[in-house]
Chains A and B, each alone.
Chain A
């Protein structure tokens, strides 16, 4: 069999070779494209003292940090209190119903390395949430849902008061959590204070 393309006669064997070459080239290009395609690595989840929310169990916490200074059950959630690096507070670890760490609140007031801006620079993308002290005292919560971390602080003073660790989730789901109950994407109006 012969076919004519633009006045050039191509015999059947040659045509088959050309088709095979074309298929092979397309396959190679596909493989290369798949291998070299840019992939977005998931944001690394923040962890605290090797404790990873959603992964670390209560027993593992105790093996890492020892027995807590105090335990308490708040609204059915077990809270472990540990001596903080801040001299004025204790850190809190919330244990979920699956016996895994659900939430960590680290209080860092009094530490020297508490520049909010530095933290936020490292955090990358974040969402600013309003809280009960936003209006009167300028305290906001800066949340990275992907990283599972949030910073509570005053951008004017550049002071960070707390660092939160939690299992990465969407902001909508996070706002349903108990520990986010006082925070909102929009301004929260408390009852006016200073009542006479």
Chain B
């Protein structure tokens, strides 16, 4: 009340006193009440609270009553019509509607058609889109003809793919490890395989408990046969930094440390309440690495099958054994990890856009990730058993990645826990019934989706499913890797989302047609080869990349250099742009390209194809 008196006193002395009712009057109290009620609804709106509440306050104690393992689905049941990055608040009831009205008014673009305050896919922030693009982006500043060439160079891959690199060989392993270490922050408790030299090889199982590698380093419970080792998952797997990767999927690359607390990893109940909010994980790039980061990644012990015949023997100092021990080599880790990723990245069920792996909500409507085949396997070499070794292709594909929601606890279980202790149900619960990744509604090659054309109107012919012409599809599939040989061109073509390929039946011509705004290419007749696809992708690149001004500056057709002769129809500057790409890829169409059209050729080589020769 004292505060109220002070406020009233100040009001009386202020110029506002002339226009406001007297503080003791009923009108003043009424006005005050309206203002307070409005403020309550306004401040109480969850979107406002989330947007302005300091991120450091958004911690588990605020939202997370407990570990979600075995709990409710990590997938929100608050469906929106187009998929949402996050879902907050409700718009039902008078108060909810009023709250949403304020949200609508203030944050219109964040409010989805379902009424919930959402980040719509269609309003995907640019930085998220850029971050997604960078997941697989080779560093264009580093010379190298291909992804293969660049991936071994420090900084050669600027996207989060680097985070999947094995710590031995590949990329800049020291920095990766430091990042991994730092990125762990608070990971799940549990039993993990520790890789700290010999620290775990010298402990004894003779007592009920034993410390491992000194105080605070872990314990062994002989009664349960559990090793409780506070290890760090960054050391565990060559496929690490899932957190870092997830984080980078949400934030643009930066030299500055960013907090993952800005990424919403919350898990919602069926009622829309936040039931779990993973701990924030900070990823920092340390300029002055400490010795502790000089971790050599190698297996610390070998888990063997329990040998019943030796059960009565004095074991003394042994390699780690457990009653449910299994083959704990890298492959088992990888297999489990892969399983987790597959679930996380699973595409949505047909007609149920909310059902997919959570990473899919980052996609624009109608998009899906490329198939695994479109990505490169990551070669790893892992000394799973000290002195031994194994190697193989760690087939963790970005296409398998899920988004944050539900991924974190799934990863924690799938990656950091010993396989036999992993709680698979955490993933199962999150993605129950979701089919494995691989694409629904059409095969995917690169960023091209072979669409069956259901509901699609072709400009000039009947769209038919590709399955009616498998030979044509095979030809196009063979053409795609050729067209996308250049990483730079792939980036230009694919960075704004998938391109739907439609098969058209028109008797009057053979060729292609690009509807660039819709990112669609219609292919008819025998127009299934490299040249047609290259030309049509040239239109896509023209439309989406703003390179036309540079094209006119450097090539300047038809004044500075004539239109390329091979385009058979009415030549325009924009058709010439597309043809510039087409004949660069389909070199046989214009063998003397460089000599006859040097401006076109040089533009294609340097600006479109990043120096890659065809």
Contact = CB atoms under 8 A, between A and B. Distances in A.
Contacts of B460: 189, 192
B74 to A, nearest CB: 36
Contacts of A89: 559
B182 interface: no
Contacts of A193: 511-513, 535-536, 567-569, 575, 578
Nearest to B568: A195
B562 interface: no
A161 B573 CA distance: 11
Contact of A194 (B515, B516, B531, B543): B531
Secondary structure call for the A interface: loop
Contact of B513 (A110, A132, A135, A154): A135
B532 A196 contact: yes
B391 interface: no
Given A192-B512, A192-B527, A195-B532, A137 B542 contact: yes
Contacts of A110: 549, 552-553
A154 B543 contact: yes
B459 A135 contact: yes
Contacts of A154: 543, 548
Contact of B570 (A161, A189, A190): A190
B552 A191 contact: no
A137 B459 contact: no
Contact of A136 (B516, B529, B531, B552): B516
B577 interface: yes
A194 B577 CA distance: 12
A138 B535 CA distance: 15
B122 interface: no
B32 to A, nearest CB: 43
Contact of B516 (A135, A159, A189): A135
A194 B542 contact: no
A109 B573 CA distance: 11
A28 to B, nearest CB: 41
Contact of B574 (A136, A191, A194, A196): A136
Contact of B552 (A90, A109, A132, A187): A109
B553 A195 contact: no
A87 interface: yes
Interface in B571-589: 572-575, 577-578, 582
B526 interface: yes
A157 B548 contact: yes
A156 interface: yes
Nearest to A131: B572
Given A88-B559, A138-B517, A196-B526, A189 B459 contact: yes
Name the 7 nearest CB pairs between A and B, nearest first. Answer: A194-B535, A194-B532, A192-B511, A137-B574, A195-B511, A136-B539, A194-B512
Interface of B: 459-460, 506, 509-517, 522, 524, 526-529, 531-536, 539, 542-544, 546, 548-549, 552-553, 556, 559-560, 567-570, 572-575, 577-578, 582
24 contacts: A87-B553, A88-B552, A89-B559, A132-B570, A133-B572, A133-B574, A136-B513, A136-B542, A137-B516, A137-B548, A138-B516, A159-B548, A161-B548, A192-B509, A193-B512, A193-B567, A193-B575, A194-B534, A194-B582, A195-B509, A195-B511, A196-B510, A196-B526, A196-B529
